[in-house]
Amino acid sequence: MNKKLLILDGHSMAFRAFYALPVENFSTSAGQPTNAIYGFASMLINLIRDEKPTHIATAFDVSRKTFRSEKFPEYKANRAATPEEFRSQVSYINELLDAFEIPHFELEGYEADDVIATFVKKFSNQAEIYICTGDRDSFQLVSDRVTVLYPKKGVTELARMTPDAVLEKYGLTPKQYPDFAALRGDPSDNLPSIPGVGEKTATKWIQEFGTLSELIAKVDIVPGKAGGALRAGLASVITNRELTQLKSDLPLSTELDELSWSGVEISKVNQLFEKLEIKALKARVAPFAKDGQVKEVAAKKKNLRDVTNFEFEKALSDSTGFVGLLLSENQAAISIEPDTVLVAPIGDVASAISGFKNFIFHGAKQKISSKVLKTVAVDTEVAAYLINAGSRNIALSDLLQKYLGIVSNNSSDDLFTLDWDPSITCHLPGLWEVLSKELEGMNCLDLFNQIEMPTMHILAAMEATGIAIDRQELQSLLTFFAKEEAEATSLAYKSVGHEFNAASPKQLQAVLFEELKLPKTKRIKTGFSTDAESLEWLFSTTKHPVLASLLRIREVGKLKTTVEGLLNSTKADNRIHTTFQQTTTATGRLSSTDPNLQNIPIRSDEGRRIRNCFVAQEPFVDLLTADYSQIEMRIMAHLSDDKGLLEAFRTGEDLHSTVGAQVFDVPVAQVDADMRRQIKAMSYGLAYGLSSYGLAQQLDISPTDASILMSKYFERFGGIQDYLKEVVKIARDKGYTETILGRRRYLPDLSHENRGRREMAERMALNAPIQGSAADIIKVAMLNVEKAMRSEKLSSRLLLQVHDELIFEIAKGEHEVMEALVRKQMGSAFELKAPLDVNIGFGKSWDLAAH
């Protein structure tokens, strides 16, 4: 049997894997990143499967300090620090290699390339050698016996660099490649290039003179500007050539037989994969178990069948369990039997799909709101979100890759793009099996089934219903804001005596700081800041009229943009159908887009005029708004069990005045507006990690006064301080926070070496249980209200959820029953020690219904 040696450049390929796979999509439940480990292991499995090596070795760099950096201190000095997320995975990659029974080598003062070059020199007469590396310097090692496998895309697509391939790519032989590289320079290694000399010129010179040595010997005859640049930069070129030459005489006593490979130690591999929660690769590595031979890995061929609507409907009616479903614009695919997919035109089977309840689907809400689907039993997008709410990568392709090791072959430009591929349908039951076990292990399966899935269905119905708009009133508002903006712009011109572009930071800087000589704001890259905060500071400092005009331009400009967005989003039915985002926030909160109705202004009179354009539409007569009073503070009181704060709620008096009386040690009646303002800022800021410096800025007081205020606050409410300390400690120990219903938020940065990232994670740990619990409560409230409305057979309907507020459209004659029902169901959504309090109002518009 011919001997075949596979040598991997460990660091190079691990780095490739790290940047090919998004780190936020690959981590353990404790927050340990695994993207580099996963990608490296996947690449290794593919290499073993495709190349069938008899011998394997891996080479690693030890550090950036090598003989090259001693000779040329600038060597690789431009490279950024190694990301901590990568560094934390290197030891696991070594563990992985040990479990695969693959030896790994490194030598102080040398790079992995030098180890590889030494092995090539020692073993090329004994075995065919295949080098997997992302370093082009290795091309100098290519020969009839040595092939470089160079990654073209991530770690999945490798170019086979043979002598012919190197010649075709560069027009040079492998032996000429380091001469060419010395002339070209290498930005990634910080090796300087010759000004005006690119790859084409470098190639032409080496082709003409044969070697760099010959070119240097005849450098005086090289014509033109390029020749002059070469002569001027000759010292750098000579240094480059010395640095690109790989060392092949390292003191490595290893013999080829010591690199012999006969399979993986499967128990060790599985143990490591269990620890790292990498389950998808277990099946892929199994064929390489150490049993004397490497087995072929053959993917099961999927049986795709185009069927009639009768066959499709019969298959659904005969099914007894969950059925995977995938939809394109024109087709529907279901998988009932393993490895068999039935495909039919969606129009032919619409009624069958609408009448079936046990589908497993990914991203069902949009299909339900558009009436393509009626219901699903499992939405894998929602399940994946609940498992790791911080992940931005929960597309079906990401989940199949992460949990099942399946990569779509359809994508044209990107490993992680999944085009319509009906065969994917048969993987949905397996994906749900893995996700459900994850949820069960987190004690979140009930949260998924009883809260998140029903919430998804309610949101779909709300999207389909929409909310009515007074289009005429909205149009008149647009005209008003446009006029106000024009008038403010005209006043700004008069204030400085000429026209200028108020939207241009560069022109604003010239007007404010050069022309008017106003005090300088904070310095930024392009000069001095002209953001809203800076303009407000300037106005409070100078009272210059141009600043009042600029602030007004920005204020009405934002309002005008909001109104324009609402008008553009209003459909033919005179309703806005926003899209509720259930799987985007890290805390479990709902948000909305297209348009974002959570950002409709409420604090200014003009902002409320926009809310006044959201109305009840016949045959409905009014809107009902219901929101929780101080829900986050009530949750804080519940979680901290602070006796003083709980008592403040029990009195029924104004919370901030009651707390202020205790902090300032005065009767409630003597708590003035400024005292109340300070207490309110303090109370709400605590859950966001508010520091004394932040409090000082917010209240415009000195840091010393802010520290005194915080000290007084915690003297009276020590239970809150204890809770805030404990919640961060528990989160650091566990790696995650939990809400009152068990929703998790993973925070791996709680143990990060970077102080800024660690402190940011600590603030998130303070906020997530409170904000996440508020999200839990409003979802339970929505479900309870909807259930009660169905039970009472009411015609009124839920339209919007905005923060802690629900908005309903009320049918004629249902005011009293809806007020009682909503108050009861929202108030009893969760039993807090500081009981939930619900405010309710009615009106023809959203603004008029405010309470």
Residue 182 pLDDT greater than 70, yes or no: yes
Q: Tens digits of per-residue pLDDT, 49-64?
A: 999 999 999 999 876 6
Residue 276 pLDDT greater than 70, yes or no: yes
Q: Residues 541-578, buried b or exposed e (16+ Cβ, 10 A)?
A: eeebebbbbbbbbbbbbebbebbeebbebbeeeebbbb
pLDDT of residue 154: 61
DSSP assignment of 714-746, as one string?
A: HHH-HHHHHHHHHHHHHHHHHSEEE-TT--EEE
Sheet strand arrangement including 157-161: 104-105, 55-59, 4-9, 128-132, 146-153, 157-161
| Cα–Cα dist 50/63, whole Å | 31
| Cα–Cα dist 649/833, whole Å | 9
DSSP assignment of 85-136, as one string?
A: HHHHHHHHHHHHHHHTT--EE--TBS-HHHHHHHHHHHHTTTSEEEEE-S-G
* Backbone phi and psi for residue 702, each to the nearest 5 degrees, phi listed first: -75, 155
User: Across 11-20, 213-222, 420-429, 793-802, which has the greatest mean pLDDT?
Assistant: 793-802
Question: What is the mean pLDDT of the segment spanning 403-422?
Answer: 54
Residue 422 CB partners (closer than 8 Å, separation 6+) = 304, 326, 331, 333, 341, 343
Residue 300 pLDDT greater than 60, yes or no: no
| Cα–Cα dist 400/424, whole Å | 9
Residue 520 CB partners (closer than 8 Å, separation 6+) = 513, 528
Residue 333 pLDDT greater than 90, yes or no: yes
Question: What is the mean pLDDT of the segment spanning 467-476?
Answer: 97
Nearest residue to 93 via CA among 197, 16, 175, 193: 16
pLDDT of residue 178: 85
Residue 300 CB partners (closer than 8 Å, separation 6+) = 339
Q: Which residues on adjacent β-strands are paired with residue 341?
A: 304
Question: What is the mean pLDDT of the segment spanning 620-629?
Answer: 97
Q: Which residues on adjacent β-strands are paired with residue 5?
A: 55, 129
| Cα–Cα dist 644/653, whole Å | 14
Q: Return the CATH number of the domain spanning residue range 306-466.
A: 3.30.420.10
Query: Which pair of structure tokens corresponds to residue 330?
Result: 């024109």
pLDDT of residue 69: 63
Residue 338 · residue 323 · CB < 8 Å: no
DSSP at 294? P
| Cα–Cα dist 581/208, whole Å | 63
Q: How many residues does the chain have?
A: 851
Question: What is the mean pLDDT of the segment spanning 457-482?
Answer: 97
pLDDT of residue 70: 66
Burial of 267 (0-12, 13-18, 19+ CB in 10 A): exposed
Residue 147 · residue 130 · CB < 8 Å: yes
Q: Is 279 helix (H, G, I), strand (E, B) or coil?
A: coil
Residue 506 · residue 525 · CB < 8 Å: no
Q: Which residues on adjacent β-strands are paired with residue 4?
A: 128
In the chain, the amino acid numbered 628 is: Y
Question: What is the mean pLDDT of the segment spanning 315-325?
Answer: 93
Question: What is the mean pLDDT of the segment spanning 503-526?
Answer: 90
Residue 298 pLDDT greater than 80, yes or no: no
Question: What is the mean pLDDT of the segment spanning 632-644?
Answer: 94
Query: If pLDDT is split at 50, 70 and 90, which confidence band does 106 have?
Result: confident
Query: Which pair of structure tokens corresponds to residue 408?
Result: 């779509």
Question: What is the mean pLDDT of the segment spanning 804-829?
Answer: 98
CATH superfamily of 467-576: Taq DNA Polymerase; Chain T, domain 4 (1.20.1060.10)
Q: What does pLDDT average to over the chain?
A: 88
pLDDT of residue 332: 94
Distance, C-alpha 286 to centroid of its chain: 32
DSSP at 584? S
Residue 415 pLDDT greater than 60, yes or no: no
Taking the CA of residue 325 as centre, how many other CA atoms within 13 Å lie in the half-sphere pointing to its CB?
Answer: 32
| Cα–Cα dist 260/158, whole Å | 24
| Cα–Cα dist 598/805, whole Å | 10
Q: Tens digits of per-residue pLDDT, 593-618?
A: 999 998 888 888 998 999 999 999 99
Q: Is 363 helix (H, G, I), strand (E, B) or coil?
A: coil
Q: Is 8 helix (H, G, I), strand (E, B) or coil?
A: strand
Q: Are strands 620-628 and 378-379 parallel, antiparallel or unpaired?
A: unpaired
Task: Please count the helices (runs of H) and the strands (runs of E) in the chain.
Answer: 36, 25
Task: Tell me the domain boundaries of the chain.
Answer: 4-170+251-259, 306-466, 467-576, 631-765
Could you give the angle at which helices 10-20 and 84-99 cross, rounded to 10 degrees?
120
Rg over CA atoms, the chain: 33
Domain covering 4-170+251-259 assigned CATH 3.40.50.1010 in the classification: yes
Share of the chain above pLDDT 90, in %: 55
In CATH, what is the architecture of 631-765?
Orthogonal Bundle (1.10)
The beta-carbon contacts of 387-391 under 8 Å, at least 24 apart in sequence, are 387/435, 387/438, 387/439, 387/442, 387/444, 388/27, 388/746, 389/585, 389/586, 389/587, 389/588, 389/743, 389/744, 389/745, 389/746, 390/24, 390/586, 390/745, 390/746, 390/747, 391/24, 391/25
Q: Is 67 helix (H, G, I), strand (E, B) or coil?
A: helix
Residue 260 CB partners (closer than 8 Å, separation 6+) = 54, 55
pTM: 0.73
Q: Which residues on adjacent β-strands are paired with residue 109?
A: 66
Burial of 214 (0-12, 13-18, 19+ CB in 10 A): middle
Residue 182 CB partners (closer than 8 Å, separation 6+) = 191, 212, 237, 238, 240, 241, 244
Question: What is the mean pLDDT of the segment spanning 761-768?
Answer: 92
pLDDT of residue 329: 84
Residue 547 pLDDT greater than 50, yes or no: yes
Burial of 242 (0-12, 13-18, 19+ CB in 10 A): middle
Q: Is 161 helix (H, G, I), strand (E, B) or coil?
A: strand
Query: If pLDDT is split at 50, 70 and 90, which confidence band does 288 have?
Result: confident
**Cα 94 to Cα 29, 41, 64, 87, 98, distances in angstroms:** 21, 11, 19, 12, 6
In 471-532, DSSP assigns E strands to 523-524, 527-528
Nearest residue to 24 via CA among 541, 547, 388: 388
| Cα–Cα dist 811/576, whole Å | 19
Q: Looking at 181-185, 362-366, 475-479, 838-842, which range is the least confident one?
A: 181-185
Q: Tens digits of per-residue pLDDT, 119-152?
A: 999 999 999 999 999 888 899 999 999 999 998 8
Nearest residue to 463 via CA among 564, 596, 366: 366
Residue 228 pLDDT greater than 80, yes or no: no
Question: What is the mean pLDDT of the segment spanning 386-415?
Answer: 71
Q: Is 341 helix (H, G, I), strand (E, B) or coil?
A: strand
Residue 322 · residue 357 · CB < 8 Å: no
Query: If pLDDT is split at 50, 70 and 90, which confidence band does 416 have?
Result: very low
More confident residue, 691 or 837: 837
**Cβ atoms within 10 Å of 161's Cβ, excluding its own:** 24
| Cα–Cα dist 633/655, whole Å | 9
Find the DSSP H helices in 187-245.
Answer: 199-209, 212-217, 224-232, 234-244
| Cα–Cα dist 385/589, whole Å | 12
Q: Tens digits of per-residue pLDDT, 675-697?
A: 898 998 888 888 788 888 888 88
Query: If pLDDT is split at 50, 70 and 90, which confidence band does 510 have?
Result: very high
Query: If pLDDT is split at 50, 70 and 90, which confidence band does 190 have?
Result: low
pLDDT of residue 312: 94
More confident residue, 208 or 148: 148
Query: Which pair of structure tokens corresponds to residue 587?
Result: 């805390």
More confident residue, 246 or 799: 799
pLDDT of residue 411: 36
Query: If pLDDT is split at 50, 70 and 90, which confidence band does 156 have?
Result: low
